[in-house]
Amino acid sequence: MLSAALSVTLLSGCSTSDSSTQKVTKQGFYFDTIIQITLYGTTDETYIDECFKMAKKYEDMLSNTIDTSDVSKINASAGVSGVDVSDDTLELIKKGIEYGDLSSGKFDITIGKLSDMWNFSEIAENSASDDNEVDASVIPSDESIQTELSHVDYHNIQIDGNNVMLTDPDAKLDLGGIAKGYIADKMKEYLQSKDITSGIINLGGNVLTIGEKSDNSDYTVGIQKPFDESGSPICTVKVKDKSVVTSGIYERYYRVDGKIYHHILDTATGYPVENNLYSVTIISDSSCDGDALSTTCFALGVDKATELINSLSGVEAVFVTDDYKIITTSDTYEVDEQAS
């Protein structure tokens, strides 16, 4: 499954002071979420239609809930044989391994069975309570958590050309943590090849901007206030030709006796990460990088994540703590805190 809640939102489009400004917007439903693409300087919908075709192609290729996908075939053959995959699937798996190395395993694309066991999406969706309060019986036993955790190790991915194999028969590949970012990057690459110089790609909250607004100013992107059901932003950032991706504990979670259990799992313990963060937003050139880094930085916590971000070129982070304080890694991008 490739899914995430809306965490970042484009708050302002191109300037409309020029009546000749052309614009086209369309929505679609892919990866279990609403995606929206807006292009400026054109009214031709065929560019967006082509992007939607790309979304369907990549969903069919990368989703671990579609039996015929490359990823599902790898999982089905785990411990038995390798599977010949597309160049795109191979590229994304290698990207996942790269971030496994960069994060010392905090980001791990073999986390599939552990994530499935926690079942955050289904339990939260079916909760009758407004605050997602559920019975303690939904929490997996520690024994089962440790069993599945023992199979989370991206080093068990074996690659030979385009042939990919999971050497552990009980491992499960899940590319949901980076797939939407990768797809957004591919869409942007396609649109730029068609001379589209201004627009916004929003894949369920992964916002990727193309160029700048028609008046040569930045786009304003809102970062959602955690647990605010209205979707109001806690702050906004101004960017051009950048990706803005957020990972937060309010995206998929439930509460047991008032304690929050969320979908960002600690690969050291098998349990949800426990720190003082509600969300991490990554601003970068690549949406795929933003996807992986937002999860990685959340797992690392503010101090270690800041060290990591400072070691990378062209990447910045915005942290929202559990007391709603906003911490940024630099003042490169204008961050405007919103009135509560």
Q: What is the pLDDT of residues 109-133, one digit of tens each?
A: 999 999 999 998 788 677 667 678 9
Residue 88 lies in a domain: yes
Residue 212 lies in a domain: yes
Q: What is residue 157's predicted lDDT score, i.e. its pLDDT?
A: 98
d(CA 163, CA 157): 10
d(CA 184, CA 204): 11
Query: Which amino acid would we find at residue 176?
Result: G
Residue 202 lies in a domain: yes
Q: What is residue 71's predicted lDDT score, i.e. its pLDDT?
A: 98
Query: pLDDT confidence of 331, banded at 50, 70, 90?
Result: confident
Q: What is residue 335's predicted lDDT score, i.e. its pLDDT?
A: 86
Q: Stretch 248-264: mean pLDDT, rounded? A: 92
b or e along 158-197 (b: 16 or more beta carbons within 10 Å of the residue's beta carbon)? eeeeeebbbebeebbbbbbbbbbbbbbbbbbeebeeeebb
Residue 1 lies in a domain: no
Q: Stretch 275-286: mean pLDDT, rounded? A: 97
| Residues 229, 265 contacting (CB under 8 angstroms) | no
Q: Stretch 25-32: mean pLDDT, rounded? A: 93
Q: What is residue 4's predicted lDDT score, i.e. its pLDDT?
A: 40
- Indicate which CATH number applies to the domain containing 22: 3.10.520.10
Task: Please provide the average confidence, as pLDDT, over all residues in the chain.
Answer: 91
Q: Looking at 6-20, 161-175, 217-231, which range is the least confident one?
A: 6-20
3-state secondary structure at position 236: strand
Over residues 298-319, the pLDDT tens digits come to 999 999 999 999 999 999 999 9
Query: Total structural domains in the chain?
Result: 1
- The phi and psi torsions of 314 (rounded to 5 degrees) equal 75, 20
d(CA 63, CA 44): 30
Q: What is the DSSP string of 15-35?
A: --SSTT--EEEEEEEETTEEE
3-state secondary structure at position 14: coil
Q: Looking at 19-28, 68-77, 315-324, which range is the least confident one?
A: 19-28
Q: Which domain holds residue 38?
A: 8-337
Query: pLDDT confidence of 332, banded at 50, 70, 90?
Result: confident
Q: Stretch 177-200: mean pLDDT, rounded? A: 96
Please compute, for residue 28, the number of CA atoms within 13 A of its CA located in the half-sphere on the CB side. 18
**Strands in the chain per DSSP E:** 8-12, 23-30, 33-40, 83-84, 157-160, 163-166, 198-203, 206-211, 219-224, 233-239, 243-248, 253-256, 259-262, 277-284, 316-321, 326-328, 335-337
| 114 contact partners, CB below 8 Å, separation of at least 6 | 145, 148, 149, 151, 152, 265, 270
Q: What is residue 32's predicted lDDT score, i.e. its pLDDT?
A: 86
Q: What is residue 128's predicted lDDT score, i.e. its pLDDT?
A: 64
Residue 12 has pLDDT above 60, yes or no: no
Residue 2 lies in a domain: no
Two tokens, residue 227: 């647990």
Residue 67 lies in a domain: yes
d(CA 163, CA 184): 25
Query: pLDDT confidence of 339, banded at 50, 70, 90?
Result: low
Over residues 46-60, the pLDDT tens digits come to 999 999 999 999 999
Two tokens, residue 209: 């901007």
Give the C-alpha distances (Å, rounded to integers) separating 240 from 160, 188, 285, 296. 39, 13, 10, 24
d(CA 238, CA 251): 23
Q: Which helix (H) or strand (E) holds 306?
A: helix 302-310
Q: Which helix (H) or strand (E) holds 308?
A: helix 302-310
